[in-house]
Structure 1
Amino acid sequence: MTLQYSTLDGSAGDHPPVVLDRREGPYGEVVLRRHGGLLQIIANGCFLMDTSDGRSERLLVDAALESLDGDGDSNDGGDGAGRSVLIGGLGVGFSLAHAAAQPRWERITVVEREPAVVEWHRDGRLAPFSAGALDDPRVSVVERDLLAYLAEPGERHDALCLDIDNGPDWTVTDDNSGLYGPAGLAACRNRLAPGGVLAVWSARPSAGFEDALRSAGFSGVRTLEVEVTRGVPDVVHLATKAA
């Protein structure tokens, strides 16, 4: 299935990239740079994301909410209100801004392990893309490693929307691979409410990850595509915890 979303204006053009900030964070080097009209986040020399589009990041949130709306669960009174979502990875803020624009999310938790990324949103450099969502009273920001946070006992969410790597087969750091294996997926399942939805962003499809989701006890495993200008489509992997 391919989803169509509007594209944000912006292009790198022919301008050389300019580093705006460079930090040595708890997991290595993280860089914010400007390339033409775009802002980009680079971690340990690996390109993570930029401000050129945001379609697949918005799909990450939309697909989770649509899956919940169609699950027949009446715990929310039938109007979709009272939902809780955990967004793994703040990034440039597209997913958070999109979730905050939807009143049906009553609680929004963002887990981001790089303090510099949070600061870039708070000091204004990335603020236009998170659209003031960090000041929304429904939003709480947790500066932690996502896998460590999920492995702890804590609040269960109706949806987990995870975007911390370029995909299950293309992680930013080696230890992130644990999120996509049996232990990490078990932690995700434990942090979901019955009938909850796991949504995972990826820069390319992963049949192996679909198999891992099924092996971890998830149902309704499926992959949504978002066409990109060049290369293979971005995708969102979706799976549901049994009610």
Structure 2
Amino acid sequence: MLPWTVLDTAALPDGSGTLRLKQRGSEFSIMLGSNELMNSRLSGSEEALARLVCERLAPRPRPSLLIGGLGMGFTLRAALAALPGEATVEVAELIPAVAAWAKGPMAPVFAGCLDDPRVTLTVDDVMAVIAAGTARYDGILLDVDNGPEGLTVAANDRLYGATGLGIAKASLRPGGVLAVWSSGPDHGFTRRLRAAGFATEEVTVRASRTGRGARHVIWLATRPA
């Protein structure tokens, strides 16, 4: 078996840890300590995040999406495949090195999706992007942690509390969808979404496209029309 090679590292903005980009043959992995945040072989649940939202937004002719977390581009590519040509997709990525990896060593994984004219890549805190506009988005897709808690960056906790959910709700158009990816269930987060006034659904999906691998959770929280 081929050994892993560390291609690059990036310190988290709050200084709490370091991301490592690793490669083994054509496979890539991004690690935070002993936690594997993403792997290029496992894209099923990240693609489902986009697919489930786009299905709900299908009647809208020019939907506007915000994706929080660039990752390996799986959610972005799935969204672009499902959206019409008049759609717009903004991707907010906090860590500049992750954006650089997408155009550098991981360019084969991204397959040119960042060059799609519908896409804008913003290197910024997704919370700041969400808060910048009222009724701006039809869908907000969050995959910035392993769930509704700040594993990668502790400040991300504010995304998942009552204040953050209220800001996200205000940034959605009526009937818009807030979708949150998680490595596992969190009943407290479900209660917080409902308390914030969202109609909330939990969907369990598999990590792999083949329907195998770990079970992940996606919350689909709809702002009332």
Question: SS of 1:101's equivalent?
Answer: helix
What whole-Å deviation, never above 9, does each CA across 1:43-86 have from its counterpart, x for those lacking one? 465421110121111110111111223xxxxxxxx5x4211111
- Say whether the 8 Å CA contact 2:93–2:126 is kept in structure 1: yes
Please name the residue that 2:201 is paired with: 222
In 2: Cα distance, 1:44 partner to 1:142 partner: 26
Q: Structure 1 length as normaliser, TM-score?
A: 0.82
- The number of residue pairs the alignment matches comes to 218
- Say whether the 8 Å CA contact 1:25–1:116 is kept in structure 2: no
- Say whether the 8 Å CA contact 2:69–2:92 is kept in structure 1: yes
In 2: Cα distance, 1:81 partner to 1:184 partner: 28
- Say whether the 8 Å CA contact 1:81–1:103 is kept in structure 2: no
Identical pairs, percent: 39
Q: Structure 2 length as normaliser, TM-score?
A: 0.89
- Say whether the 8 Å CA contact 1:46–1:172 is kept in structure 2: no
Please name the residue that 1:21 is paired with: 8
Please name the residue that 1:101 is paired with: 81
How far apart are 1:35 and its partner, in Å? 4.0
1:190-209 aligned within 5 A: 190-209=170-189
Please name the residue that 1:163 is paired with: 143
How far apart are 1:36 and its partner, in Å? 5.4
Q: Which of 210, 219, 225 is residue 237 of structure 1 equivalent to? A: 219
In 1: Cα distance, 2:222 partner to 2:194 partner: 10
4+ residue segments displaced more than 3 Å: 43-46, 228-231
In 2: Cα distance, 1:143 partner to 1:190 partner: 22
How far apart are 1:113 and its partner, in Å? 0.5
Aligned-pair Cα RMSD in Å: 2.0
- Say whether the 8 Å CA contact 1:30–1:41 is kept in structure 2: yes
Structure 1 spans left out of the alignment, 5+ residues:
1-13, 70-77
Q: Which of 59, 72, 91 is residue 92 of structure 1 equivalent to? A: 72
Q: Which of 53, 58, 61 is residue 50 of structure 2 equivalent to? A: 61
What whole-Å deviation, never above 9, does each CA across 1:88-142 have from its counterpart, x for those lacking one? 000011011111223426100000001111111112x222222211111110011
What whole-Å deviation, never above 9, does each CA across 1:195-230 have from its counterpart, x for those lacking one? 1001110000111111110011111x1111113445
